[in-house]
Chain A
Amino acid sequence: MVKFRHFRFILLMALVFGLFGTALAQPVDVLRLPGGGYWGHPSPFGFNRGPGYMHASLVFDTLVWRDESGQTIPWLATAWSLSDDQLTWTFTLREGVRWQDGQPFTADDVVFSIQYYLDHPGTAWFMAQVDQIASVASASDNQVAITLKRPFAPFLQTTAESLLIFPRHIWQGVDDPRAYVEPDAFIGSGAYRMVEYSEAEGTYLFEANPDFFLGEPYVRRIEFVPTSDNILALLNGDVAAFDQFGGVTDEMLAPFQSAPYQVRTAPGEWGMFLFFNLEADTPLRDVRVRQAIAHAVDRGALRERILFNFGDVGSMGFLPPANPFYNPDVADYAYDLDRARALLAEAGYDGTPIKLSYSTDWIMASPRVVEIVESGLSEIGISLEHVVMDQAAIDAAAVEGNYEIGIFGFGGLGGDPDQLRRGFATDSPTRGFSRALGYSNPDFDALANAQISLTDPAERRDAIYKMQDILAQDLPVLPLYYTARVVVFNAEVFDNWYYTPGGWGGGIPMPYNKHQFITGLPTGLSIRQ
């Protein structure tokens, strides 16, 4: 009863302040959002994973960006063109842009940034395809020409849109960019200045840059603060929104079904996978063992018990149903323990324990996934040796290949399907949690390297469908599920929340596209007044 009365009070206060709030608070003075640890520091090199990139993207810009339309929009570049041989992209840069320290932004900075990524492999955001770039040069005072090694259809979406451009005058002497945390490491051209952060506590504070090239941003201050329970934090007004990947019930959303709250959902573009390390000498090298595992893992149960049915079961072709290139007809491995046992027997599996590496950090929900996966595998006689780590350690193990089966989760699955080449082609230089190790199939490689130069959408789709078929047969990775997404927000604080089709920054599926904070509008470059 007390709880109920308390609620009414909050509601009343929200209404009272809401009325004045909407009248007075335009633009948004402070937008407080749930923070969290493990996202690193927001320099172009110091961040971890999508949330870390999101912080850095507030401070640093890219050549182009995208809005709710899903279309490429001008950003640091106002125009771009592709040469007839489809090898050279020429970007015309915006005039009058300044770095946050007052220095002018020039074509030199763009050339320097991209050259820096080329000279320091592994430093660029993993969704950006730097390895496709042959050279970069300034074509005139405000033009940059990027020449590719071969025609690369998804260059704009995967790379021009995601490579952060940083100032030459600050970074030209820096040798260890990841460790560089001097105050000038956080000087970008972006709409927000990094004011303060604490990696350990997961707090990040950004203030609008009044000299930003599009004008002063609509949201004046963005604060990421630690929360213990996002639903309570939003109801208490500690934050103005939260988002969740999977695991959402009607009961959780019930308090937000009326004003001032709004709920927006989007399909799953973030997935959880079993990665089989085929570089390691384990029984997993036999495809029948992997197929047996696929038959023994009850993906329906994972969807019901981990996602509360808010999301999709894994497709063996890797891409989720939300991706426009999703092949719905790939081989499926129904939950069938007898079939699984038969495959194991055929493969001559002798009961050798297999190491299962996973993180207990709750952002990934892995321990619960392990329970369900293990219950199936123990039924068919596969014994698992648990290797438990924190998130940083498991991401490092993924890069080093220090695992046998790894439970990895990541997003970007709604983005360009070239990610299949990045993850599974033999010659892909990608390292990290999205890379299948030791997998090599010449048929797959041929398709993967052909599709990137195919400009005819139907032809490209055909190739990508076939690639998914091959993956479903070979199973270098077992996709478990894709989490549907929800963003819940207090519309009286800020109402312009949207999910970006295909993700932003190369495919990030979170509802934190900076465009919505800067402009206050779903599309275009003008700022809401």
Chain B
Amino acid sequence: MTLIEFRNVSFVHQTGVTALTDVSLSIGKGETVAIVGENGAGKTTLVRHINGLLKPTKGSVLVEGKDTRETTTATLSRKVGIAFQNPDHQLFSESVENEVRFAMKNFGFGEDLIAQRLDWTLKFFGLDQYRKSSPLVLSGGEKKRLTLACILAWDPDVVVLDEPTVGQDALQKEKLGQIFKLLQSTGKTIIIVSHDVEFLWPIQPRLVVMSGGKVVADGQISQIMGNRELLEGARVTQPQLLRLYQGLASRPATPFLDVLEARDWIGGRKQKPEAR
């Protein structure tokens, strides 16, 4: 079932700069889609159309069949949660807990539910000790996690994450990976804008490549990542495990998705000739 549809969308900023040119894209319910491409390719502009923060200059964007021009951002936001790239553009409350409460209150959640969700999200994201602190004293990585916590707390159907791994250490990235699995298993539609190809590769999302305001490729990540020429144009690099796979003289039919897969395969092959 199509949940989000871009129909020949173009967007021109007030300054006259064209950010999107004739973008058509449809995203089904429950899909995990990653958007990659060079700085300034139009990725952020694209996702800001999904909750109506931006309206197309030409063409239309439909969410559950409804044109975003005919719906308010407030209504769309109940369905679509966006965590911005720069958390400073998003955080404003005097305390971390009020930041998480804010949207839930606006959407009319009961106090009990708010308290329960608040507890869960703050603990899950390792922010519990900062409950009463101002969001402004958090580190860059912590702020980023707080924006995610705020969105997951109100449980939108569509979760849009703009560069979620920036400033996150390895453990936090691993946690983010787990969150994706959790969200996928509950049928959420997930849209990730990211430069972090190493993070995206094991998730194996559908990959949309943007360049110069256009969608230049759309398909399975393992196929697109094999096309070096295409990646070059969009200033994307190949993940390490794919590069390793391509360099092997003898290799399995499909690339390694994670280190464990590579280890098992190489181990299985190499141990035989060594046995005496």
Q: Please indicate whether A and B come from the same complex rather than being unrelated chains.
A: no
Question: B residues bordering A, Cβ < 8 Å?
Answer: none
Question: A residues bordering B, Cβ < 8 Å?
Answer: none
